[in-house]
Each structure stands twice: as C-alpha cells, then as structure tokens.
Structure 1
Amino acid sequence: MKLNWLLAAPLPEGVPVQRLLYQRLRAAIVDGRLAAGTRLPGSRQLASELGIARNTVLFAYEQLGAEGCLLADRQGTRVAPLAVAPAEPSAAPAWPPLARRAVLAESPLPGAVELGAFAPGVPDVANFPFRAWRGCLDRAWRAARPRHLGYAAPGGEPELREALAGYLATVRGFRLRPEQVIVTAGTQAALDLCARLLADSGDTAWVENPGYPAARTALAMAGLRLHPVPVDGEGMAPTPADWQAHPPRLVMVCPAHQYPSGEVLSLPRRLALIDGVRHSGGWLIEDDYDSEFAGGGPALPALYGLQPGAPVVYTGTFSKTLYPGLRLGYLVVPEALVPAFAAASASLARSGQGIDQVALADFIRRGHYTAHLRRMRRLYQARQRALRDALARWPGPELAIRGGAAGLHLVLHLPDSLADTEVVAAAAERGVVVRALSRYTLAPMRCNALLLGYGAVPEAQMPAAVRRLRSVMGQ
C-alpha cells in the first residue's frame, strides 16, 4: 500500500523527519486509519516512496514495534491489534465523571485578581518595600545550601517558625514554642490541613453566613457538612438550636474582622464560642487574615490563648500584609497537635519555597515587617477616611456603611430598589470593580450591599472613583 501521504502535509520547523514519521504513523494506527493487520511497505520501499533515508524508516518501525503498535516477522511488518477500538472522528470524548465533591467547589468571584477601585481584600503592592525584601532574598541565596532547593523542612523552615513565634508573642501575646508554628502555602492549605486532621468526612463544620467562599470550599471538599450560622453586629451568632441540632466538629470564624461583613466578634461571643465548642468536642479555627490593619483602640484578644487549653487553631497569612503571590501562611496549634500537623504538612502538602521562607524570617527579624505594617496601617486608615468622606458627599438619602474596624474594605448597604448584583455588573462596564455581598451568602439569608475595597486606591483618586460608582447607580 502507498503511504506517501504520511509526509505530504507541511513539515514543522525543528522536528527531525524520523520523529515526525514515527508520530504520524503512530497517530494513523491509534485513530484507525491504519487498521489492525494492515501490512506496511518494507523499509527500503517506504524510504523510496517518501524520499528519505532508510534509517529514518527503520527508526520509526523499531520504535512502534517496541511500543506494541507494529508486529514484524518473516512475512513483513503489519499493524498490531490494539486493545482499544478507535474513536469515531467526530465523537466527543467520553470522559469519566468528576468526583461527587467537585460540585461543592464554588465559582470564584469575578475579577478576583483585579486591582483598583474598589476590589476588596487587595493590598497596595505598589508600596511594597522592594529594596528591603531584595536584600533579604540576596542574603538567603548567598547562604543557601542544597537542601533549600528541595522540599521545605516538615512544618516549615526553622528560621521562619522561630521568627513567627517571636513576632506573635510580641504583637498577640501568644505563649508558644516555635514548633507550634506550622508554615503553609497560604490560608487554603492551612484550612485543608485542619479539615483533614481535626474532622472526619461527614462531620459538621460551622461557617459564617455571609462568609468567605474559598473557606467554605476547602471544608466542603474535605467531606464536611456545612452549617451556615448568621452574622450580626457582634459577629457569628449561633442560637441554642444550632448547638443542639448541629453540634459542630469544626467552627470556622474570623473574629478580628469578619469577612465580608467587617464585623468584630464581641468578647462575650468569643467566650461563648470557646465554651460551646469545648462541650461539643470540636475545634475552633481562627482565621486572622488582616487584623494587622486594625484601627482605633486596642484590639480584642485572639481566641487562641484567651482561655487555657482552649481547642483553638490559629491561622495567619502574608497575602494581605505583604503580597498575594508570596503564597505563605501559617498555623499555630496546641503542643499536643504538633507531631500530627508537622507530619501531615510534609506528607500531604510537601511545601517548598525554602529560600522565600528563610528570606521572610530575615525580613521579620530585621524589623522590616513591623515597619512595613506601621506604614501600611497609616496609609489604609487615610484611604478609608477618604472613601468615607467621598461617600458622605453622596446626594440623596444617607446610605448605611458598616465595617472599617480593620482590613481593607467597607460595606455599603443599598436600598431595596437597587440589587447589588445588578450594580456590580453595571459598574464593571464602567471600569469599577465592586463585589455583591449577596454572592457571599448561603440560603436562606438575603443581603443587599456592596463591598468597597480601598486598599489599592490612592486618596487622590477616591472622589473620582466614587463619582463613577454614583453614575452607575443613577445618582
């Protein structure tokens, strides 16, 4: 049979002819154009037909023979029968179904990586201390050893765990050993570890409503049953019925600055949560994602360490305080959990970024981190004031503004005549990034408000950005 069509199509640059002949022969066998039992020309004959060297044909035949696609004997070379029947050329692939838990992954909020007005939760990376960070990276690379190019040490690099323990002792009053700090690849990795080690599939996990969708996804994908608990002006507000009908194994809470409502969990609620979880035999996961940017008076004490022996695991992140692409966070766990969490972080996550971890430890020890936080805290407070001033000049009835005790966004509550999702869509057409609070809720709660992030919006640009938002809303 004639096979001159094998090299009739244009030859791509840089691909050896022997490799190309092998690939096209193999494709023809797999898709059924060369059926099982088809006898192929001898190597000399095919080389003559294609105008190529015989060795080129021999390479292709030998490679396909080694793969079981061709059979060679005294009677010549023929196509071997394949175990899989060729697919119809026009048929769509019959992919196996996804796992049932895949449907639990919530769709990401639109524009999650956009900067500017008014993307919430976005730090101002333009004011990142590049020079100081570069110096720490340079020192880390100069002192690097081969082990730093592999996976990080179980639980994280010792230098970073020690630096974080000292930092948390100073700013949060924690009494802990460095071994209690478990370095993770961000908050999501930390939550995944907690869900896998502190609960079993089918256990109940309480989540705030409204709440952070990515946290809900992490818990749901671990096989936990989510029970949404409403949030009011004092934070998560469980009722006696919640404790009785849905006793939690895990309670995920953002006490310092609830996301997205911006509320602060009151001290009585903090104590009540610890007591309730202790009696239910569960654990509290304290997500302290941006308390470093708290304004005003002294912050309330963290859940971790508030009571001796409290079943609390604390999580922190550098995504808001430094930059999201660093992908480093951490857990603080009771001493009894250290061996399990260190082993799991090494075997499940296999974290890397050893050089970045060493550089971050140096960055903290030299005081760059606290200095950067002081600068950014002042900057964000000024931007929040500028946003509030611009909103105060809004014509018509005054709109309720909540939040602002910490973090990088405010919540603007809307009248019933304006649906937050419709405002978000219209704002996007004008180049304004806002979030609909209703997108963060689980049924049956209804919310109608906008999240206005101010972290990446310079003060001078705030009035114009608010005017654009007003025009979208017909003001």
Structure 2
Amino acid sequence: MKKPPNNANSAKPELDLQIDRTLELPMYLQICQRFKTAIEQGHLHAGDRVPAVRALATELNLARGTVEMAYRILTDEGYLQVRGAAGTVVSPSLPQPALQKPQAPMPGQTVSGILDHDGKAPKPLQLGLPALDAFPRKVWNRIVAHRLRGSDPARLGYPAPAGYDRLRERIATYLGVSRGVTCLPEQVFITTGLRTTLELILSSLSTAGDEFWFEDPGYILARPFLQNAAVKVVPVPVDENGLMVEEGKRLSPYAKFAMVTPSHQSPLGMTLSLERRMALLEWASSVGSWIIEDDYDSEFRYQGRPLPALKSLDRNDRVIYSGTFSKVMFPGLRLAYVVAPVSAVARFQAVAYNLNAGCPYLLQAGVADFIAEGHFSRHLKKMRLLYAERRAITQRVFQEVLGDRIRIDLRPGGLHMLAKLGDHEDDVLLADRARELGLAMHPLSRWYINAKPQQGLLLGFANVIDEKDARRIAMKLKQAMS
C-alpha cells in the first residue's frame, strides 16, 4: 500500500481549530471560519487532507454532528472535497476569495462589549433597550404561567425549527395590518435575533464571494458577522435621503445583497426617501439581487403614522423583511423573525431544519397570546406616547446642561438620538470618559467604515425616567466633557 504524501497525514502544526465557547457564533460556524482562515493564510493548501470528522469531534470535545455540519458547509462552498475512503481534502480548485488576501478589518470591527450586552442591569443611555420599567410584567407573567400549566407532553419535545405556527400566523397578520407587508405564515421564520436571521438568509441564498452592500455608517454589530461570513462587504455611503443607491451601483453594480434600515437609518436616523426606495427596488429586480430590510424599531414614530415598510412596495419579491421583538417587548425574549421571499421558502425551510434547533416554545407561545389578546397593540400605543415624552425631556435637558457643546436634532422616530459634536471633539475619548462614570453612550465615528466619520454620541433615551433622571445623567456627561 502506498504511503500518503507527507501533507496528507494531518493538518499542519500551525493550524488552530480550537473553538471559543464564550462566543455567540455557533460552533460549527467557528470551525468553518477556522478552516477558511487557515486556507487564506497558507496553513492549508489545495490537496491537504483535513482531520476526519470523528477525530476532530473528539479533539474539540464536540458532537459529531456539529463537525459534520461544518464540513458539509465547507464542501458546499467549495473549500473541501470528499474523496470517500481517501478522506476529505482541501479542494484542488478553491473558491476565488480563498485565493486572495483576507479582507482588511473594518475600523471599529472589534466591538466586544460595545453595546453592553452583558446580562447585567442596563446603564444610562444604553442603546438597543426599550423602557424596561414600563413593560406590563404582570400581564406577561400571567400569560406565560398559563401556558406553562397547560402545556401538553408534546410541547416538551424539540420546538419546530421554523417557529411556532401560531406565532407565525400572528406575525403575518400584524405585518399586513401595521407594516403593509403581505405574506403567508409559511414565509415567516422565527429566529433569535438579527445575527441568526442573517445566518439563515446567507445560508439559504448566498455563495462564497457574493458582494454585499452595507450602509456606511451602518449597524455596528452586524459587521463582524458579515466579515466572518463568505461574503465581500461593500460599504455604501448614506446622506440625508438614506442609502446612496447610485453610489452602490458604481461600487458594486451586481452585488448579490443590499442590507438597509429604511425606516430609521442605523445610526443616523434618517428615512430612506421614496425615490431611493424605488431606485433600490428597480436595481434589485434588474440584476436579481436581494434586499434585506432591517426594520428594527419602525413601530416607534412620533410624527404621523409609522411608515409602510420597503417590502410593501416590492412587486418582484426581492425584499427579505426582518423584524424583532427586542425593541417592541424586551430583548431577553431573544425572538425575532424574517419573511422569506415566496421563491425561497423551500430553501429557508431546508436550512432552518439543518441549522436551527428552534426557539423555546414557551416564549413563542407567550408572545402569540400577548398579540392575540390585544396586549401587544395596547403596549405599542402606550410606548409611543411614553417615548415621545422621554425623548423630548432628554433632548431639552441635555441641551440646557451642555449648551453649545452638543446639538441634538430630533428625528421622526426610533429609540436613540444623536448628539452631534464639533469637529474639534474626540467622540471616542469622550465616550470612554463617560463610560468610566457609568454611562453607556457610543461614539458615532466607530460606526463608519470608509466614509468620513462625523463626531457624535449615540444616546438611548428609552430608560430616562423623568426630568430629574435626565438632569442627573446630563451632569455626568458634562463632567466627562470637562
């Protein structure tokens, strides 16, 4: 029997496949990324044999199915090739991105802890939080307790990967009434947040090397995920009318995806104009691209009614609509949803069953009941009034206390405001000083990629209880600025 070549015995010594169990990124995706990095950095070459599934699972102390899933994805994307009894090797014809240098890290890519998602009590001005003090906890506890007492043994099994059917029905109805989005329950898939939503979308529709329009500045926590995915991020600047579609077409005319926050641009707060919306839809239809609409806090608009979703204008089924219960209820639910295009439902279904263990039945059923009994709509109405009051107080008091050091121009909606600073200010240094005083604001400049960064502070106002609380927080910020 011929001996295998030296490079086929095992992975090279410098190959690091260890996983980090503290990360939110699923372990099978960590394995995928480790292999891709090893290939890009030259630690693995075409034809090199990789560890057997069973051996790697034992080495990493993982279930065999986790490693099998990673290998299956790497094989589908062209990084690995299965050769039966000869084992699995690095593909002789690697996908093009693997032959190039790794994409340079984006400024601000290291975002560990930047949004204070640490499970502890929220800090003043923290982003991404609704008014936790105003949520109807007694009603919620009663609904969940009722479900818990009445659940049958079948509900103790694994939840449906695509989501609880009653919740999917409630979401489809709600979107049709409030957001102008016409969809069937079968198109709605329940996820645990934007990250798993993006994972579901990309696993269903992307191939290695696809170009991906991303707002510049854009949602900072989506960037690391996309950077680690097998897509090429193309930063597209925004102006007062939102995403600059013509600039996107110049930078990457045939991009496979465009991700936008049309109702309340994250982080600047403007609304994508109708002209830009139509231009974006026309572009996607003409080149066969997908638009991911992140509609993260559109329910909270303080001037007029909530705007219809971009998806409501979509006549060619190119928009993938994404929503969340983190802002309208509370983030501890870890429940979000995505509306798949009709043409891609089968692919979403297959990927959901392969990758998703499902969200907890009890919480999904609780949200479905919360909506069905009318509590959801009443809560939203109450919160719109409360947030309008709290943001007005916060803006007025901060301007009084800080004077011309900041300028807060209120946008029509959202759960955060932007305090603009002068060009001579350093928003990163200021935010760090404020953090030392217990505040959780965020420097705007870190949200930029290629566009010239503005200096500003992003302030979450939803948990600023009253004028006294606003003044106390403003005085701390003044101390940080002194």
Q: Same fold (TM over 0.5)?
A: yes
Please give the residue correspondences for 1:143-158 in structure 2 after superposition, counting only pairs within 5 Å: 143-158=150-165
- Aligned AA (2:443): A
Name the counterpart of 2:290: 283
1:108 aligned to 112, 117, 125, which one?
112
Deviations 1:298-319 (A, max 9, x none): 3332111213224001000011
Distance 1:444 1:352, change over 3 A: closer
Q: Distance in 2 between matches of 1:112 and 1:191?
A: 21
In the TM superposition, residue 224 of structure 1 has moved relative to its aligned partner by 0.4
Residues matched between the structures, number: 382
What is the distance in 2 between the residues matched to 1:429 and 1:139?
A: 43
SS at the partner of 1:397?
helix
SS at match of 1:204: strand
CA gap 1:101/1:350 in 2 versus in 1, 3 angstroms = farther
TM-superposed CA distance for 1:234, in Å, is 1.3
| Matching of residue 470 in structure 1 with residue 478 in structure 2 | yes
State the 1:394 CA deviation: 4.2
Higher CA-based Rg = 1
Letter in 1 for 2:154: R
Per mean C-alpha deviation after superposition, the further-off stretch among 147-156 and 417-426 is: 147-156
Q: Give me the whole-angstrom Cα distance separating, in 2, the residues matched to 1:208 and 1:247.
A: 16
Please give the residue correspondences for 1:302-451 in structure 2 after superposition, counting only pairs within 5 Å.
302-394=309-401, 396-397=403-404, 399-451=406-458
- Residues 246 and 351 (structure 1), Cα distance of their counterparts in 2 relative to 1, 3 Å cut: same
Q: Cα 1:109–1:411, aligned 2, differ >3 Å: closer, same or farther?
A: farther
SS in 1 for 2:429: helix
Q: How far did 1:337 drift?
A: 1.8
Quick one: which amino acid aligns to residue 340 of structure 1? R
8 Å CA contact retained: 2:159, 2:359 = yes
Decide which moves more: 111-120 or 373-382. Answer: 111-120
Deviation at 1:333, TM superposition (A): 1.9
Do the aligned residues in 2 keep the contact of 1:151 with 1:352 (CA within 8 Å)?
A: no
1:211 maps to a residue whose letter is G
* Kept after mapping to 2: 8 A contact 1:198/1:250: no
Could you say what secondary structure the match of 2:212 adopts? strand
Residue correspondence of structure 1 range 28-427 to structure 2 within 5 A: 96=17, 98-100=34-36, 106-110=110-114, 112-113=116-117, 115-240=122-247, 242-243=249-250, 245-394=252-401, 396-397=403-404, 399-427=406-434
Q: Which moved more, 1:320-329 or 1:102-111?
A: 102-111
Q: C-alpha separation between the residues in 2 aligned to 1:266 and 1:157? A: 35
Amino acid at match of 1:420: D
Residue 453 of structure 2 corresponds to residue 454 of structure 1: no
SS for the counterpart of 1:248 is coil
Preserved contact between residue 124 and residue 456 of structure 1 (Cα < 8 Å)? yes
Counterpart amino acid of 1:234?
N
Displacement of 1:94 in angstroms is 9.2
Does the Cα contact within 8 Å between 2:236 and 2:247 map onto a contact in 1? no
Unaligned 5+ segments in structure 2 are 1-13, 19-33, 39-101
Moved over 6 A (4+): 102-105
Structure 1 pair 402–121 and aligned structure 2 pair: CA distance change class (3 A): farther
Report deviation, 1:151: 2.4
CA 1:472–1:331 in 2, change beyond 3 Å: closer, same or farther?
A: same
Give the conservation status (yes or no) of the 8 Å contact 1:116–1:457: no
3-state SS of paired residue (2:321): strand
* In structure 1, C-alpha distance between the alignment counterparts of 2:17 and 2:337, rounded to whole Å: 36
Shift of 1:147: 3.0
Give a deviation string over 1:159-203, Cα, whole Å, max 9, x none.
Answer: 101111111121112222211111111221111111221221100
The TM-score with structure 1 as length reference comes to 0.76
Q: Take 1:251 and 1:191, find their aligned partners in 2: how far apart are those partners?
A: 12
